[in-house]
Chains A and B, each alone.
Chain A
Amino acid sequence: MNVCKLILKEIAHRKINFAMGVVAVSTAVALLVAFITSGQAYRRETRRIMRDMGQNLRIIPKETTMDEFWTQGFSSHTMPEDYVYKFANLKGYSYTHLTATLQRRVEWKGRTVILTGILPEVLPLDKRHQSPMTFSVQPGDAYVGYEVANIFKMKAGEAVDIFDNPFTVKKVLSETGSKDDIRIYSHLHDIQKVLDLPGQINEIKALECLCLIESSDKDIDPRVLAQKQLDKILPEAKVVMLQGIAKIREQQRAAMEGYLAFIMPVILVVCGAWIAVSTMMNVRDRRQEIGIIRALGHNSTKIAVLFLGKSLLIGLVAAFIGYFAGTALALKYGPEIFKVTAKAIKPEYGLLTWAVIVAPLFAAISSFIPVTIAVTQDPANTLREG
Chain B
Amino acid sequence: MVTLESVAKTYQTSQGQIRALENINLHIDKGEFVVIRGPSGSGKTTLLMTIGTMLKPSSGNVMFDDTNVYKLSVSARALFRGRNIGFVFQMFHLIPYLTLAENVLLARMRNNGKTDYYDKANELLERLGLGDRIFHRPAQLSAGEKQRAAIARALLNGPKILLADEPTGNLDAENAAEVVRYLRGFQANGGIVILATHGDQAEKSANKIVSLKKGLIEKVQVQETGAKT
B97 near A1: Cβ-Cβ < 8 Å? no
Stretch at the interface among B58-66, B98-106, B124-132, B217-225: B98-106
- Interface check B153, CB cutoff 8 A: yes
A275 CB, min distance to chain B CBs, angstroms: 22
One of B23-31, B87-95, B141-149, B175-183 contacting the partner: B87-95
Contact with B98, one of A1, A291, A301 (Cβ below 8 angstroms): A1
Task: State how many angstroms separate the Cβ of A173 from the closest Cβ of chain B.
Answer: 87
Stretch at the interface among A6-14, A157-165, A184-192, A264-272: A6-14
Query: For residue A5, which residue of chain B has the nearest CB?
Result: B102
Q: How far is the CA of A17 from the CA of B84 in the complex (A)?
A: 36
By the criterion CB–CB under 8 Å, are A297 and B78 in contact? Answer: yes
Does A358 belong to the interface (CB within 8 Å)?
no
| Residues on the B chain within 8 Å of A49, using CB | none
Stretch of B47-55, B187-195, B206-214 at the chain-chain interface: B47-55
Q: Is B96 located at the chain interface by the 8 A CB criterion?
A: yes
Q: B97: which of A12, A292, A299 is its contact (CB, 8 Å)? A: A12
Stretch at the interface among A59-67, A175-183, A378-386: A378-386
B93 touches A13 (CB 8 A): no
Q: Is the CB of B93 within 8 A of A288?
A: yes
Query: In the complex, which residue of chain B has the Cβ closest to the Cβ of A292?
Result: B93
Least CB separation from B103: chain A residue: A1
Among B89, B96, B102, B105, which residue has its beta carbon within 8 angstroms of that of A383? B89
A288 to B49, CA, bound (A): 15
Given contacts A1-B105, A383-B89, contact A295 B81 (CB under 8 A): yes
0 or 1 for each of A201-225: is its CB under 8 Å from B? (1 = yes): 0000000000000000000000000
Q: A1-B108, A295-B52, A297-B109 are in contact. Are A13 and B97 (CB under 8 A)?
A: yes
Complex interface bits, A345-386 against B, C-beta within 8 A gives 1, otherwise 0: 000000000000000000000000000000000111001111
Alpha-carbon separation in the docked complex, A299 to B110 (Å): 12
| In the assembled complex, B14 has its CB within 8 A of some CB on chain A | no
Q: Is A155 an interface residue (CB 8 A)?
A: no
Q: A295-B52, A296-B106, A379-B54 are in contact. Are A289 and B74 (CB under 8 A)?
A: no
Cβ contacts B159-179/A at 8 Å (1 or 0 each): 000000100000000000000
With A10-B97, A13-B97, A380-B49 as contacts: A294 and B54 at CB distance below 8 Å: yes
A293 at the B interface (CB under 8 A): yes
**Interface residues in A275-298 (C-beta closer than 8 Å to B):** 288-289, 291-298
Q: Which of B83, B89, B109 has the most CB of A within 10 A?
A: B89
Nearest CB of B to A367, in Å: 20
Are B97 and A294 in contact, with the CB atoms below 8 A? Answer: no
Point out which of A10, A292, A379, A384 has the most chain B C-beta atoms below 10 A from its C-beta.
A292
Closest to B102 in A: A1
| In contact, A380 and B82 (Cβ under 8 angstroms) | no
A1-41 interface bits toward B, Cβ cutoff 8 Å, 1 = contact, 0 = none: 10000100110111000000000000000000000000000
* Cβ-neighbour of B55 out of A6, A12, A380, A386 (below 8 A): A380
Asked whether A292 lies within 8 Å of B78 as measured between CB atoms, the reply is no
A204 to B89, CA, bound (A): 93
Q: Do A296 and B98 contact each other (CB < 8 Å), given the known contacts A1-B106, A380-B49?
A: no
Task: Tell me if B75 is interfacial: C-beta within 8 Å of chain A.
Answer: yes
| Most chain B CB neighbours (cut-off 10 Å) among A10, A295, A383, A386 | A295
Please determine whether B54 and A292 come into contact, CB atoms closer than 8 angstroms.
no
Closest chain B residue to A11, Cβ basis: B97
Q: List 18 A-B contacts (CB under 8 A).
A: A1-B106, A9-B98, A288-B91, A292-B87, A295-B81, A295-B93, A296-B87, A297-B79, A297-B80, A297-B109, A299-B74, A379-B54, A380-B54, A383-B54, A383-B89, A383-B165, A384-B45, A385-B91
Given contacts A296-B87, A386-B90, 17 further A-B pairs with CB under 8 A are A13-B97, A289-B95, A292-B93, A292-B95, A292-B106, A293-B106, A295-B54, A295-B93, A296-B81, A296-B153, A297-B81, A297-B83, A299-B78, A300-B75, A379-B54, A383-B49, A383-B89
